[in-house]
């Protein structure tokens, strides 16, 4: 039995363990599922509709309704980070030393650690002659070698891509940088929302999960909101707000178009097209013809308002839409004729004859209608986002280096053995050993025939 | 010459290749294995032409969009990606029997797209009108396809390893299966390719989300599931350096990872609600 470790060493070993990494990763994967099955951050009322009160209390006490910010999930992420830092701190100095102070001289003990070595004895040549050939061959077919003369032997060392060993540490560091970026965003940024009615301005936005608005320090005006549809369908093509930014009485951006996937940024605050809706009642232009008398009138009606029609009937617009199913602008009308008979009409702007019925008392032509809209904007300030992108960039570069590049090293020893010259070759790669073997076998064969010539 | 004709040819080719691979395993006639691989190549070419034609057809309708806009298009692109990664693997390893465990994935996705999904070309809704769509989808699916190949190799590994341990060699129906060592290597190499692709897919998705919604991460079910896959394969990669986790456990992690991938791709859209629901 080894001596009992002191608690600090034991803790250090615990956080340096790769088993901990695997277990933490699997736990993170497994627990993350919870938040995809239970909808997050809803109101208690919504949850109580889905779950019984006791289930609700249990899930709530486990913080399952905001699990990605729960103490236990953050603790898992904390362990994950500590593990990553400890592992890297433990191994990095050795790797740094291996790269910055490579072993230039391979002794027999080192040669024994290589899976792949080769020895050759050459007659009738001097060791310096052989050494020159080896040096030239390494330079041409691998990398420029470093020559060390020691104990009468020539030691050549050549390496390729030593920095490949840093790939894994760059990847690990990138994860921590992303975390730092996320924390910066959480501390000094916000996500908020604002609805601006066409023609009006706002200088305050409402952060999520809070009732206190944030003052922007400048004013945003919505000059116009529009939605367009693909021809012949009700599939939206574009949602567009024209925004004007006014700062200190000065117009700094005028009628700047903001569409989905093309936001507006000003002073580190970005506005994203997010939603829209009608506000107030629509004003509708209609032409009504009484079929009995043939009298035609032009009407301008507010939605919901009841107006008189020629021939003693009345009309009320129930609803209007810019895109009635696939037929373009349309309105639903309720008509009460002189006898008190109630009927509804569907009037389509692009299909004026659509509503004509044999028993109809009126014919309508739908003109323009004006509906004021509000635009719903997501507002975000995130000073940490560039830190996150830096982390992402390092992650991509780091993992590419870690996965696809390999630190390859070759040692060659040339020494005089009696009246002959002995050449010993060994090599290793820090990863993708099979790929290195293929290269190294070919390398050894060619060097052998080169030296024999 | 329409895209649907070529999609049909693709489906038939993947089916034929799948049958030929099984015949190859039973008969052990090299020529059949070679033919099967040739048929996959033919299917891959047809699949490529079909996607290209569909792209042109969308432009002819006036929609300036890459053919990656709905579930149908993503499924046929997934089949294409699987065939691509399989063929790259085949060029390197020339282990024909692996096709019997990978090409069925490509076939299942093609036949599902052809029979079960709406192939109508529809214009993009505003949320999807972004160049990020192309980068995001391509990186994700190359990653997913690599995981499909890794999963196929892992299933074979689990079939082979028991026999190898008992008899020391591998006879019978699995006589032409690659050795456990080679299968383990294929599994690892495929994930080594897939993992950076998945990372890129998540990053491009985050960049796009930030550009479209102002938040690069919102724990939406699709995002979370992609992270779950990332955790699983990260565990796999570290398992290789850990005693007690190599071999069978690593193979199971790879299969689990692909199951999670399929759930992330399809299960989330079909069963859970979230930002990606327009993808269906």
What residues of B are in contact with residue A434 (Cβ under 8 Å)?
Answer: 185
Residue A17: CB atoms within 10 A of its CB come to: 15
Is A260 within 8 Å of B129 when comparing Cβ atoms?
yes
Taking CB atoms within 8 Å and a gap of at least 24, the contacts of B216-219 are: B216/A385, B216/A388, B217/A182, B218/B275, B219/A35, B219/A40, B219/A68
pLDDT of res. B51: 96
What residues of A are in contact with residue B127 (Cβ under 8 Å)?
Answer: 260-261
Mean pLDDT of chain B: 90
Where are the strands (E) in A130-266, listed by range? 146-150, 153-160, 190-197, 201-207, 214-229, 236-247, 250-259, 264-266
What confidence category does residue B171 fall into, taking pLDDT thresholds of 50, 70 and 90? low
Backbone angles phi, psi at B261, to 5 degrees: -60, -45
What residues of B are in contact with residue A396 (Cβ under 8 Å)?
Answer: 196, 199-200, 203
Closest Cα in chain B, distance from residue A237 (Å): 6
Element containing residue A175 per DSSP (H, E): helix A167-188
pLDDT above 60 for B275: no
- Token representation of residue B127: 């949320």
Which chain A residue's Cα is nearest to B131? A261
- How far apart are alpha carbons A453 and B16 in whole angstroms? 55
For residues B174, B176, B177, B178, the Cα torsion angle rounded to the nearest 10 degrees is 150
Which chain A residue's Cα is nearest to B205? A392
Q: Which of A110-114, A400-404, B40-44, B207-211 has the highest mean pLDDT?
A: B40-44
pLDDT of res. A324: 76
Instruction: State how beta strands A264-266 and A269-278 pair.
Output: antiparallel
pLDDT (mean) for B257-278:
79
- How far apart are alpha carbons A283 and A269 in whole angstroms? 35
Is B206 within 8 Å of A36 when comparing Cβ atoms?
no
Is A26 within 8 Å of B221 when comparing Cβ atoms?
no
Report CA A7 to chain centroid distance, whole Å: 40
What confidence category does residue B49 fall into, taking pLDDT thresholds of 50, 70 and 90? very high
Residue A353: CB atoms within 10 A of its CB come to: 8
Mean pLDDT of chain A: 89
Is A235 within 8 Å of B123 when comparing Cβ atoms?
yes
pLDDT digits (tens, 9 = 90+) for B177-194: 888 888 998 999 999 999
> A61-70, A111-120, B255-264 — which is least confidently predicted?
A111-120
Residue that is written with structure tokens 């695997």 in the block: A22
pLDDT digits (tens, 9 = 90+) for A274-303: 888 888 888 888 888 887 777 888 888 888
More confident of the two residues A137 and A343: A137
Q: Is B152:B215 a contact under the CB 8 Å cutoff?
A: no
Is B130 within 8 Å of A274 when comparing Cβ atoms?
no
- Size of the A and B interface in Cβ pairs below 8 Å: 112
pLDDT digits (tens, 9 = 90+) for B89-139: 999 999 999 999 999 999 999 999 999 888 888 888 888 888 899 999 999
pLDDT above 60 for A226: yes
Closest Cα in chain B, distance from residue A324 (Å): 18
Q: Which of A98-112, A252-266, A406-420, B41-55 has the highest mean pLDDT?
A: B41-55
pLDDT of res. B280: 35
Question: What global pTM score does this model have?
Answer: 0.85
pLDDT of res. B76: 96
Is B211 within 8 Å of A19 when comparing Cβ atoms?
no
Which chain A residue's Cα is nearest to B197? A396
Is A385 within 8 Å of B268 when comparing Cβ atoms?
no
pLDDT of res. B31: 94
Is B260 within 8 Å of A230 when comparing Cβ atoms?
no
pLDDT (mean) for A150-156:
90
What residues of A are in contact with residue B185 (Cβ under 8 Å)?
Answer: 434
pLDDT (mean) for A350-369:
76
pLDDT (mean) for A303-319:
86
pLDDT of res. A356: 63
Closest Cα in chain B, distance from residue A262 (Å): 7
- How far apart are alpha carbons B36 and B17 in whole angstroms? 5
- How far apart are alpha carbons A295 and A317 in whole angstroms? 20
- Token representation of residue B54: 């569909």
Cα end-to-end span (Å), chain B: 27
Q: Which of B115, A453, B149, A439 is nearest to B157 (CA)?
A: B149
Closest Cα in chain B, distance from residue A23 (Å): 8
Which chain B residue's Cα is nearest to A227? B126
Partner residue opposite B231 with nearest CB, options A25, A236, A272: A25
Is A395 within 8 Å of B203 when comparing Cβ atoms?
yes
- Token representation of residue A178: 């992303």
Residue that is written with structure tokens 């019984």 in the block: A52
Is B199 within 8 Å of A380 when comparing Cβ atoms?
no
Partner residue opposite B125 with nearest CB, options A191, A236, A400: A236
- How far apart are alpha carbons B280 and B277 in whole angstroms? 6
Is A191 within 8 Å of B225 when comparing Cβ atoms?
no
Is A261 within 8 Å of B212 when comparing Cβ atoms?
yes
């Amino acid at each position: 039995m080894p001596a009992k470790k002191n608690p600090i060493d034991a803790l250090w070993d615990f956080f340096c363990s790769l088993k901990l990494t695997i277990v933490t990763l699997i736990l993170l994967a497994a627990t993350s599922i919870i938040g995809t099955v239970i909808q997050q951050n809803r109101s208690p009322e919504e949850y109580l509709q889905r779950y019984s009160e006791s289930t609700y209390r249990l899930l709530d006490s486990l913080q399952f309704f905001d699990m990605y910010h729960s103490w236990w999930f953050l603790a898992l992420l904390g362990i994950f980070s500590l593990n990553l830092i400890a592992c890297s701190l433990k191994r990095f100095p050795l790797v740094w030393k291996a790269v910055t102070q490579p072993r230039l001289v391979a002794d027999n003990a080192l040669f024994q650690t290589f899976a792949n070595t080769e020895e050759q004895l050459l007659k009738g040549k001097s060791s310096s002659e052989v050494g020159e050939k080896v040096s030239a061959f390494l330079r041409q077919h691998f990398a420029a070698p470093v020559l060390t003369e020691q104990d009468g032997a020539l030691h050549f060392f050549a390496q390729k891509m030593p920095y490949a060993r840093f790939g894994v540490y760059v990847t690990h560091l990138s994860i921590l940088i992303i975390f730092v970026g996320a924390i910066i965003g959480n501390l000094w940024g916000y996500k908020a929302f604002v609805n601006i009615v066409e023609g009006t301005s706002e200088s305050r936005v409402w952060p999520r999960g809070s009732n206190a608005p944030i003052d922007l320090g400048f004013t945003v005006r919505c000059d116009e909101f529009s939605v367009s549809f693909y021809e012949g369908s009700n599939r939206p093509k574009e949602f567009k707000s024209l925004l004007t930014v006014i700062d200190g009485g000065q117009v700094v951006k005028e009628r700047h178009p903001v569409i989905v996937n093309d936001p507006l940024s000003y002073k580190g605050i970005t506005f994203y097209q997010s939603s829209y809706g009608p506000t107030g009642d629509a004003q509708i232009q209609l032409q009504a013809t009484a079929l009995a008398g043939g009298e035609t009138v032009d009407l301008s009606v507010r939605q919901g308002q009841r107006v008189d029609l020629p021939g003693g009937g009345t009309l009320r617009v129930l609803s209007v839409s810019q895109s009635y199913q696939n037929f373009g602008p349309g309105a639903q009308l309720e008509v009460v004729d002189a006898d008190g008979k109630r009927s509804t009409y569907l009037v389509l702007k692009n299909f004026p004859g659509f509503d004509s019925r044999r028993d109809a008392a009126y014919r309508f032509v739908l003109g323009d209608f004006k509906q004021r809209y509000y635009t719903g904007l997501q507002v975000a300030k995130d000073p940490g986002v560039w830190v996150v992108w830096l982390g992402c960039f390092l992650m991509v570069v780091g993992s590419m280096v870690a996965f696809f590049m390999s630190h390859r090293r070759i040692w060659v020893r040339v020494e005089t053995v009696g009246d002959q010259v002995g050449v010993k070759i060994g090599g290793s790669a820090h990863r993708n050993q099979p790929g290195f073997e293929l290269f190294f076998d070919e390398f050894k064969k060619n060097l052998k025939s080169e030296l024999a010539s | 010459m329409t895209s649907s004709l070529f999609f049909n040819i693709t489906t038939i080719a993947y089916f034929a290749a799948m049958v030929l691979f099984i015949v190859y395993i039973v008969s052990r006639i090299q020529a059949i294995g070679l033919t099967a691989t040739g048929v996959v190549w033919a299917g891959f070419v047809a699949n490529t032409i079909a996607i290209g034609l569909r792209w042109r057809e969308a432009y002819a309708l006036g929609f300036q969009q890459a053919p990656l806009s709905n579930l149908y298009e993503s499924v046929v692109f997934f089949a294409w990606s699987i065939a691509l990664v399989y063929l790259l693997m085949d060029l390197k390893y020339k282990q024909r029997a692996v096709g019997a465990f990978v090409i069925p994935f490509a076939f299942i996705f093609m036949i599902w797209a052809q029979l079960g999904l709406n192939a109508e070309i529809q214009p993009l809704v505003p949320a999807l009108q972004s160049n990020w769509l192309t980068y995001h989808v391509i990186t994700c699916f190359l990653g997913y396809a690599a995981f499909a190949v890794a999963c196929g190799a892992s299933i074979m590994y689990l079939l082979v390893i028991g026999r190898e341990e008992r008899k020391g060699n591998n006879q019978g129906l699995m006589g032409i299966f690659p050795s456990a060592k080679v299968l383990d290597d294929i599994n690892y190499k495929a994930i080594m390719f897939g993992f950076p692709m998945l990372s890129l897919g998540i990053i491009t998705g985050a960049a796009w989300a930030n550009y479209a919604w102002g938040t690069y991460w919102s724990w939406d079910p699709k995002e979370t599931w992609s992270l779950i896959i990332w955790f699983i394969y990260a565990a796999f990669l570290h398992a290789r350096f850990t005693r007690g986790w190599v071999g069978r456990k690593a193979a199971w992690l790879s299969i689990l990872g692909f199951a999670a991938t399929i759930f992330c791709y399809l299960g989330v859209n079909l069963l859970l609600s979230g930002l990606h629901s327009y993808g269906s």
